[in-house]
C-alpha cells in the first residue's frame, strides 16, 4: 500500500529522527550527529534531494558495507598551510568537522590554506561546509567528484561524477546590526543532481529530455533509464570542462580517486561515492588588512545592484526556505517517511 499525504516535523524533531535512524543503521553517535545535521540543513533549506531522503541513501551505504560506520578520522599537516584528514572510510561530515578548526587557524595565519579529505564517503551537497567557513569570515571553495554517472559533452558514456562546486563569501552585518547570511552557492556540474532524478523515479514522473541518456545513448525522459545510462553536464562543453577540473582537483591532486575509480571501488554494491574532497580557504584580511571593511562594502554594492534590478542572488531561495522552516518546520512525503521507518525497524 502506498502512503499518501505528508508528515510534519519541527527542525528539532527532524534532527532527532535522523539521528535515531542513523544510529539504528549502525552509525557511531558522532557520525550520526554530523550526518543528521547535514540532512536536516538540506531539508530546512528546501533542498529535498539532499534532505531526509538521504537517510535511505546513507542506510544503503552502511548496509552494503561501503562506509565504515565507526571510522575515527585522522588529522595531519603535510605542509604549513595544508590540512589532511584521512576519513578511514567513514562519511565525510565528521572528517570535515574534525579538520575545520585547524583549517581556519591556518587560513588566518597564512592568508590562504587548503584541506584535503581523503578516503571518505560522499552523499551530500557541499554548501553546508563552505557556509560554515564563510560564517568564520573566510572565503571558501569546495570540490568533490562522485561516481562516474555523467557523460562528457559530445559523448553518451559515463566518465564524470556529478562533481559539485561550492563557494562561500562572508558578508558584513546590515547597517542596523542584523547579521547577513553569507553568499553561498553550490551546484553540480551535471545538468541536475542525481538525487533529483531519483526523486522523479520514486514519484513516477518523467524528466526533461536534456537530463540524460539511456543505456543505448539515446536521450530519455524515463528517470530509471537515465539512472541506468548516463546523465548530461549542464551548459554543454562548459559544464564538461568544469567537471574535468573537479576530477583533477579532488582526485589526482590530493591523492584520491576519480569518479571512474570510485565506481569501480564500489564493486556493484550501489553505495555512495568513495574518494576525496578539496577545500580552499582564503582570509580576506590577509590581502586587505585595514581595508577589509571597505572592500566588503564594495562587494555589497554589487549584490545590491543585482537585487535592485529584480534579479535573484544565487542561494537566496535556500535562505527564504530556511526562514519559513524555522517558523513552520518541514514536511516530507508520507511514503518517504514510511520507507525510512522500515529502515528504522530493520535496524532496531
Active site residues: 49-50, 196
Q: Within 10 Å of residue 136's Cβ, how many Cβ atoms?
A: 18
d(CA 16, CA 335): 19
d(CA 103, CA 280): 9
Element (H, E) at 54: helix 54-63
**Alpha-helix runs per DSSP H in 250-291:** 259-266, 284-288
Query: How far apart, in Å, are the Cα atoms of 318 and each of 181, 257, 296, 322?
Result: 11, 31, 22, 6
Element (H, E) at 242: helix 237-249
Give how far the C-alpha of residue 336 lies from the chain's centroid of Cα atoms, to the nearest Å: 20
Q: Find, among 150, 202, 185, the residue nearest to 47 by Cα.
A: 185
Amino acid at each position: 500500500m502506498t502512503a499518501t499525504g505528508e508528515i510534519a516535523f519541527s527542525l528539532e524533531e527532524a534532527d532527532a529522527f535522523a539521528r535515531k535512524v542513523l544510529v539504528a543503521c549502525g552509525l557511531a553517535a558522532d557520525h550520526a550527529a554530523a550526518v543528521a545535521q547535514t540532512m536536516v540543513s538540506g531539508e530546512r533549506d528546501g533542498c529535498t534531494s539532499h534532505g531526509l531522503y538521504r537517510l535511505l541513501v546513507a542506510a544503503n551505504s552502511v548496509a552494503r558495507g561501503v562506509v565504515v560506520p565507526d571510522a575515527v578520522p585522522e588529522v595531519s599537516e603535510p605542509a604549513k598551510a595544508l590540512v589532511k584528514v584521512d576519513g578511514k572510510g567513514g562519511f565525510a561530515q565528521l572528517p570535515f568537522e574534525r579538520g575545520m578548526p585547524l583549517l581556519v587557524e591556518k587560513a588566518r595565519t597564512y592568508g590562504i590554506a587548503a584541506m584535503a579529505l581523503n578516503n571518505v564517503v560522499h552523499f551530500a551537497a557541499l554548501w553546508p561546509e563552505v557556509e560554515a567557513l564563510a560564517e568564520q569570515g573566510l572565503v571558501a571553495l569546495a570540490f568533490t567528484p562522485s561516481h562516474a554517472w555523467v557523460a562528457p559533452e559530445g559523448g553518451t558514456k559515463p566518465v564524470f561524477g556529478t562533481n559539485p562546486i561550492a563557494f562561500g563569501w562572508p558578508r558584513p552585518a546590515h547597517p542596523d546590526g542584523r547579521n547577513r547570511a553569507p553568499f553561498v552557492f553550490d551546484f553540480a556540474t551535471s545538468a541536475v543532481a542525481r538525487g533529483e532524478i531519483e526523486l522523479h523515479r520514486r514519484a513516477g514522473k518523467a524528466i526533461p529530455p536534456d537530463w540524460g541518456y539511456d543505456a543505448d545513448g539515446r536521450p530519455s525522459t524515463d528517470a530509471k533509464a537515465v539512472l541506468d545510462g548516463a546523465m548530461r553536464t549542464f551548459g554543454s562543453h562548459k559544464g564538461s570542462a568544469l567537471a574535468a577540473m573537479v576530477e583533477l582537483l579532488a582526485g589526482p591532486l590530493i591523492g584520491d580517486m576519480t569518479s571512474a575509480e570510485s565506481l569501480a571501488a564500489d564493486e556493484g554494491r550501489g553505495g555512495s561515492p568513495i574518494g576525496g574532497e578539496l577545500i580552499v580557504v582564503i582570509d580576506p584580511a590577509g590581502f586587505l588588512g585595514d581595508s577589509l571593511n571597505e572592500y566588503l562594502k564594495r562587494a555589497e554594492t554589487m549584490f545590491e545592484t543585482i537585487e535592485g534590478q529584480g534579479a535573484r542572488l544565487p542561494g537566496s531561495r535556500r535562505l527564504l526556505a530556511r526562514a519559513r522552516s524555522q517558523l513552520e518546520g518541514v514536511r516530507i512525503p508520507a511514503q518517504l517517511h514510511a520507507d525510512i521507518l522500515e529502515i528504522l525497524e530493520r535496524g532496531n
